[in-house]
């Protein structure tokens, strides 16, 4: 399938998109309620790490072109060119850093992707650590080296903060001893890294309880970072000055580090835990609260959670036994924040286990892929999930006519109102923003969701006046997909906007 709907769905000469422009989107009798997966698509590598770039392309890295461990190449997919091999650019990173099991995030100040840490091979043995920091530039699709971190890190998390800085947490430092990078570092564009020497913690992101493995950290409404430990322990990290870390009042159920967590709304975290349990953690006040929600329908080790354009959460992949073809979850699930219930949705073809991924795309689909290195399967492939909101809700399973964004600003600041010109056969019912994602190892460092109020623009047809984000703690600087929805709940293809001072 050549999914050129990114380009085909544009408005030409001011005309409404017709269903003919969507003829290449798959149809199915249950698509309107469960969504549907497209066919399995070849990928030049195993996409162990994936990032949606500011230009709408997808960066992936982490394996060789033979599908083995080794992050010495970068693959960039341009969705506007379809899904054939010609739509991918594969380049060596030329920096001598193995970016396998690094952490990555897009920097708001420059649009570059910061890739921190990674792998090293010593005396023929892999899975040692590096302190390297590298920067991927979308203008030339190249990775260039920067000043390294103070600590080596293998499996670190990179958390965007409210001023555009990036907090680096966790990771293993030395393999043989072993030691762990229990001192956080802060990256600021223009000045580089500095260590938060008063925020050292072996429990929060160090040696204890395996907490160094991609710590689950979330920028909170109070400007601090809330850490939800794999073992259920929780912490507050204050990144100001030399940093500080304190225990939170909450003890959550335990989880494997292969279980995902996601901040689906400001200050609210949906977390999958052991024994199919799911919880919502509310960090909007000093006293953190937690409540159980409906169980997921399978154990799902090495699954992924993705915020959809409408704010629901898509859960895909995983199995009963970590990285084994035992109890594979081919079915997917969608969690609705309004009901706090899960709904079984479409089934994938390929198992997605360790080193698999999922990423919301600007057209509202979800790119799922990867798995392997090591694994029972070597998945140099992806599958695209088309959510129910892309289909008519009449039971036909046919793609819906979509509204379209005709005009919107490229840049936003906080507390700004702005106009969005649109084409739609029905009134606009919602406006949302979803931060572009950076995902690996069952976690996504970047995704955020916010609903925006709007009114009809006075005296102008086919235009709405939107009140933009007001709180940089809930919407930190960065790149966001701006979606509008028609009265039937069908989203337009988003416009990527840059929220920055």
Residue pLDDT, tens place only, 255-264: 999 999 999 9
Give me the pLDDT at residue 412, please: 98
Q: Between the CA atoms of 442, 446, 450 and 456, what dihedral angle is there, to the nearest 10 degrees?
A: -120
Give me the pLDDT at residue 118, please: 98
Give me the pLDDT at residue 48, please: 98
Give me the pLDDT at residue 24, please: 76
Q: Tell me if 364 sits within 8 A of 331, measured CB to CB.
A: no
Q: Name all contacts of 415-421 with Cβ < 8 Å and 24+ positions apart.
A: 415/468, 415/470, 416/468, 417/465, 417/466, 417/467, 417/468, 418/465, 418/466, 418/468, 419/457, 419/460, 419/463, 419/464, 419/465, 419/466, 420/454, 420/463, 420/464, 420/466, 420/482, 420/484, 421/462, 421/463
Q: Confidence band (pLDDT; 50, 70, 90) for 55?
A: very high
Paired tokens of 485: 């929805």
Give me the pLDDT at residue 451, please: 98
- Res. 14: pLDDT tops 80: no
Share of residues in the chain with pLDDT > 90 (%): 93
Cα distance between residue 136 and residue 76, in whole Å: 11
Give me the pLDDT at residue 193, please: 98
Give me the pLDDT at residue 25, please: 87
Q: Tell me if 206 sits within 8 A of 213, measured CB to CB.
A: no
Helix, strand, coil % in the chain, rounded to nearest 5: 5, 45, 50
CATH superfamily of 5-390: Galactose oxidase/kelch, beta-propeller (2.130.10.80)
Cα distance between residue 469 and residue 415, in whole Å: 6
Give me the pLDDT at residue 6, please: 34
3-state secondary structure of 375: coil
- Res. 20: pLDDT tops 70: no
Closest-CA residue to 50 (of 445, 329, 479, 494): 445
Edge-first strand order for the sheet with 244-251 is: 216-219, 225-228, 233-238, 244-251
Q: Tell me if 361 sits within 8 A of 379, measured CB to CB.
A: no
Paired tokens of 160: 């965007």
Give me the pLDDT at residue 10, please: 31
Share of residues in the chain with pLDDT > 70 (%): 95
Cα distance between residue 92 and residue 98, in whole Å: 11
User: CA geometry: angle at 152 spanning 149 and 156, to 5°?
Assistant: 90
Cα distance between residue 13 and residue 16, in whole Å: 9
For residue 178, whether the previous peptide bond is cis, meaning omega lies within 30 degrees of 0, is yes
In this predicted model, which residue has the larger pLDDT, 459 or 427? 427
Q: Which CATH number fits domain 404-499: 3.40.50.150, 1.10.10.10, 3.90.550.10, 2.60.40.10?
A: 2.60.40.10
Average pLDDT score, the chain? 94
pLDDT in tens, 258-316: 999 999 999 999 999 999 999 999 999 989 999 999 999 999 999 999 999 999 999 99
Cα distance between residue 500 and residue 12, in whole Å: 31
Q: Name the strand (E) or helix (H) holding 31.
A: helix 31-34
- Res. 371: pLDDT tops 70: yes
Q: Confidence band (pLDDT; 50, 70, 90) for 497?
A: very high
Give me the pLDDT at residue 16, please: 31
Q: Confidence band (pLDDT; 50, 70, 90) for 95?
A: confident
Paired tokens of 99: 């970016």
What is the location of CATH 2.130.10.80 in the chain?
5-390
What is the location of CATH 2.60.40.10 in the chain?
404-499
Spell 192-215 as b/e; 16+ CB within 10 A means b: ebbbbeebbbebbbbbbbbbbbbb
Average pLDDT over residues 3-7: 35
Q: Confidence band (pLDDT; 50, 70, 90) for 96?
A: confident
Cα distance between residue 501 and residue 499, in whole Å: 7
């Amino acid at each position: 399938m050549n999914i050129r709907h990114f380009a085909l769905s544009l408005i030409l000469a001011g005309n409404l998109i017709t269903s003919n422009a969507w003829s290449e989107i798959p149809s199915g009798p249950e698509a309107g309620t469960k969504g549907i997966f497209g066919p399995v698509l070849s990928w030049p590598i195993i996409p162990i790490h994936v990032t949606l770039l500011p230009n709408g392309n997808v960066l992936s890295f982490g394996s060789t072109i033979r599908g083995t461990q080794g992050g010495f190449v970068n693959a960039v997919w341009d969705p506007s060119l379809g899904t054939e091999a010609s739509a991918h650019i594969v380049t060596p990173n030329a920096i001598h850093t193995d970016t396998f099991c690094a952490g990555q995030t897009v920097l708001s100040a420059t649009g570059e992707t910061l890739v921190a840490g990674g792998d090293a091979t010593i005396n023929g043995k892999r899975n040692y650590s590096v302190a390297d920091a590298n920067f991927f530039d979308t203008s030339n699709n190249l990775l260039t080296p920067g000043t390294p971190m103070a600590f080596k890190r293998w499996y670190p998390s990179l958390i965007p903060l409210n001023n555009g800085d990036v907090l680096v947490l966790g990771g293993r430092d030395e393999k043989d001893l072993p030691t762990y990078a229990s001192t956080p570092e802060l990256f600021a564009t223009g000045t580089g890294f500095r260590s938060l020497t008063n925020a050292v913690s072996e429990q929060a992101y160090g040696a204890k309880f395996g907490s160094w493995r991609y710590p689950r950290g979330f920028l909170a409404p109070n400007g601090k970072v809330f850490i939800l430990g794999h073992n259920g322990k929780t912490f507050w990290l204050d990144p100001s000055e030399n940093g500080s870390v304190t225990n939170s009042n909450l003890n959550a159920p335990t989880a494997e580090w292969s279980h995902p967590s996601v901040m689906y709304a400001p200050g609210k975290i949906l977390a999958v835990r052991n024994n199919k349990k799911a919880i919502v953690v509310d960090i909007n006040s000093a006293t953190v609260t937690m409540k159980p929600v409906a169980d997921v329908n399978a154990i799902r080790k090495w699954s992924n959670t993705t915020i959809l354009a409408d704010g629901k959460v898509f859960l895909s992949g995983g199995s009963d036994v970590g990285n084994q073809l035992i109890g594979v979850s081919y079915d997917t699930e969608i969690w609705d924040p309004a009901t706090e219930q899960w709904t079984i949705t479409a089934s994938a073809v390929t198992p997605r286990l360790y080193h698999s991924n999922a990423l919301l795309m600007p057209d509202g689909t979800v790119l799922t892929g990867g798995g392997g290195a090591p694994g029972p399967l070597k998945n140099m492939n992806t599958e695209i999930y088309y959510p129910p909101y892309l289909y008519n809700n009449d039971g036909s399973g046919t793609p819906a006519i979509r509204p379209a964004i005709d005009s919107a600003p490229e840049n936003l600041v906080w507390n700004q109102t702005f106009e969005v010109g649109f084409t739609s056969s029905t009134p606009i019912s919602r406006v949302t923003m979803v931060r572009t994602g950076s995902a690996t190892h069952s976690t996504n460092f970047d995704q955020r969701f916010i609903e925006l109020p709007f009114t009809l623009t006075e005296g102008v047809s086919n235009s709405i006046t939107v009140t933009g984000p007001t709180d940089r703690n809930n919407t930190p600087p960065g790149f966001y997909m701006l979606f509008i929805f028609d009265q039937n709940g069908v989203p337009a293809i988003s416009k990527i906007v840059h929220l920055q001072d």
